[in-house]
Structure 1
Amino acid sequence: MKSFLATYKIISLLVLALLVHQGYGQEVTASIDRDSLLIGEQIEVQLSASADPEDLILFPEGQTFYPLEVINESGIDTLSKRPQLSLRKTYKITQFDAGDYLIAPQQITINRTPYTTETIPVRINDVVVDTTAQGLYDIKPLGQKVPEPKSYWPYVLIAALVAIGLFVYFKRSREKKRVISPFEEAINSIDSLKQIEVIESASIYYSATSIFKTYLHRRLSLSTEQRTSKELIGLLNSLGKNEPYYEQTKEQQTGLKELLNRAELYKFAKQMVTDEQRSADLLLISQTIEAYEVGYLKKLEALTTVPQKKNRLKQRTIIAVSTLIVVLGTLGVYGYLTGYQNLWDSITLNPFKKSYQQVWVLSSYGFPPVSIESPEALIRNEEGFSWILNEDLTVSIRIEKRESESEIDFVALSEAQLLRFEKEGFSTILPKSEIYNTKEEVTGYHSFGTALDASNNERSFDHLIFGGKGFSQEVVITYPTGDRWAEQIAARIMESIKVTTEL
């Protein structure tokens, strides 16, 4: 019995010691530096864990404080509390929306066993701004922008390249030798021979004839280098017959022949020549070269002038035809869009078209008034008011008052107007009549038809009669038959008529 009790006590002490060791060795806590803060401020959260030195402790990582946001987290600090170790880690968290929040329980793992901290309440407060206590300040002016320094290196480089290019260009231009024509070269060579005072006759005449032959070869494309004087004379005579531009007078031919013969004589006979004879022969060579140069230039002008005239004539023809095509094409398109009759009226400057398209005048005439719209205002005359365009289109208004207040006789007034037409030279009058109503529903009488005027041209007429007791109002329009612009003028005038039939 005693041994059983002793064993029981030992087991109880061991169990109690184990429980005390576990409860004391694994402890986790969470704390904050404050529980109320403004939007955007940060609070520090410390997580601590106590365990034996050989235990493995893992703190939470990442955004585990949701809905609060982790801004920063520190490393793990180790504090020695013998016989145990205390580990601590600090987190800085914040929130940008006002309200009451709870820091969620955080899990700390010790030897693969999870332990959680308690929930901690936190209040996030709004930032209150007292606008009445703030000072009022003017709007700051715009700051002057300091211009960035410009780089001039590209411009300097471009200027340098241009200068180098111009230098090279002008240098090469100066280096180029002026091209001398065969004529200038021959004349300059002859002039050089004239400047020489003492020289052998054979040499001077040989040089002169060589200069002459070289000119003929280069300028006229004649094979003269290996020819004798006799062959050269024959060649030049043949050239003169075939090419009128190079034909020489008999004096020139004789002088040249004698000069070439003397040259051969001085060459083979070694005879001396006087200064006067030498100067005369050199002058003859110069004149002969000039004569052939004149012929060459005339031929060149003739060859270039004819093609140029033909080209100018061809260009003028092309321009004229092109212009005609463009004009006809433009007129064709205009006629297609607006009508070919309208095109013809524009080309012939139809006066009725111009009158119809101009700004019209609206006026009232007489009493009781007759109001019409017309291209121009009517002019008062003995019989009333009238307007005439080119003696072809006439508009007249006649208002008559009567002592009697009887109703007017429309037919009698119409026949009276036909008699006036006859007095004006109208013939073959074909009248018609109808009752006519204006836009204002005023009833009148309309006499219309065609007639031949004094020039035997067909004319149309419209005679409108209105009135009341004791008065009559008449509008007479005549115009060429078949002219659509004249017809439109007459129709527009008739549509614009306004009359008053009461005194």
Structure 2
Amino acid sequence: MKKITHLHTVLIGLVFLLVSFTGKAQQVNAGVDSTAFKIGEQITYWLTAEADTSKVVVFPESQTFLPLEMVTSLKPDTTFSGRTYKIQKPYKLTQFDSGKYTIPPQKVIIGNQKFQTDSIQVLVNSVKVDTTKQEMFPIKTSVAINPPSSFPWWILWVLLGLGILAALVLFLLKRKKIIEEKKRKLPPYEYAIKALSQLDANNTLEKGDIKTYYSVLTEAVKRYIDEKIDDSALESTTNELITSLKAQKEQNKLLITDEVLAELEAILKRADLAKFAAVFSDRITAKEDRSRTEKHIEALRDAIPPPTPEELAQDLVYQEALQQKRKKRRKLIITISVIAVVVLGLLTYLGVSGVNFVKQKFLGTSTKELLQTNWISSTYGFPGVSLTTPEVLIRQGMEDAQEVIKQNASTSIESFSSGEIQHNLYVMVNTISSAEQLEIDLSKTVDGVYAFMEQQGAENIMVKDENFTTNSGIEGIRITGSFNILNPLTKKTIKKAYQILNFGEKGGFEQVIVIYNDNDEAADEIASRIVNSVDFKNDN
């Protein structure tokens, strides 16, 4: 017979300690004054340590006795014997639920060394209640409720995504139109000459529309000045515009004669009389003003001095800054477009796949849906473990257990699971078999549960164990409890409940793990249904 004496590894992180621990003689031990007590009663638990007088002994002072609760920590009792001393540290513990519990191993530090005690099993008995004297009440009648809304909300997600896409397309089309208009825009001089030519082609003067005639005339010359000389020309009065041009002439920014300025001023004033006072010039004067205006525009074009090297340098800096600004704007538009496409893709994914599918992928199927689905009965591993589950269990890779397999060539390890530990339901089946019969101490697997939970980052671990018998009479141990763990997706702490069955059937080791959300009635029913269906395949 082959005997396993120590834990070698963890089955994909979930096979616990199986058998007795061996090692050096301990310098610490633990004990209780009673292994059976009633709900709410207190027992005395003590830790005893022997050490050299030169070493300091540190006992635990926090709630490390869960599932039992530490009521108080009493003063230690110390006795000396030569160069050594013995110290006993008592605690008062209690529990308010009946059942079979295991006080987990406690860590004691002596000097720089850490020691760990054995676990201790205790039985908490319930208080008998005379139910014949309890007043009975009738069952309440059922209350009808309105059925939930069946509106397909995914349609709103699709419409929202289409709206975002439409807004993005309109924005890009509008921007493209603005860019094309800028490209098609004529230079200031060509625009002014074209406006005068269009004035002639429309025969505005021949039609007697003097007011429109002078309006087009003055706008042509003012627009040229506004874009090339003075950017306030379109909003300026005649006097303000002429004053500005004379000032630039005096500063040698405009090489123009006084005669041209005087004639331009006269034309603009006649235009003001025609537009605002309805005082019209004769047609001959109007035609002459048209010819003079074109000549004055040419004179103004020639009057602009060439840019100095300093101005050219400033313009180059400005153009570079403008180019950088355009690049940043282009990058911003691309970024917004990419984000919009991603958001649209996600919304479309939600709309096509459905919110429930996405929730199932990242959070797992809801327990109510699992409870109502068609369940699957199957046998997993060897020795074969038969059970019924909402979803079929998938065989897992055994990369993490290769070291165990190498050390025990005759050992076979198999693992099957469904879901993830952060999902609403997680089910796992582990089996170990060997060519030689394994001698399994199932009582030690309880210690392994606590150790495993700590490795997974669990906190506030509650461990309770009891004997378990399958429908066919196979005996094992059921370990139940709860723990808090951090959800890696939401970064929030969630409370999980668990039920674990450990068996040593047919010379092997078999384990069934069910982890689910605490305080979930549907999950409780699922877990009970799975556990009650566990049995072993009959090879006879």
Larger radius of gyration: 1
Q: Normalising by the residue count of structure 2, what TM-score does the alignment of the two structures yield?
A: 0.30
* More relative contact order, 1 or 2 (CA 8 Å, 6+ apart): 2
Q: Normalising by the residue count of structure 1, what TM-score does the alignment of the two structures yield?
A: 0.31
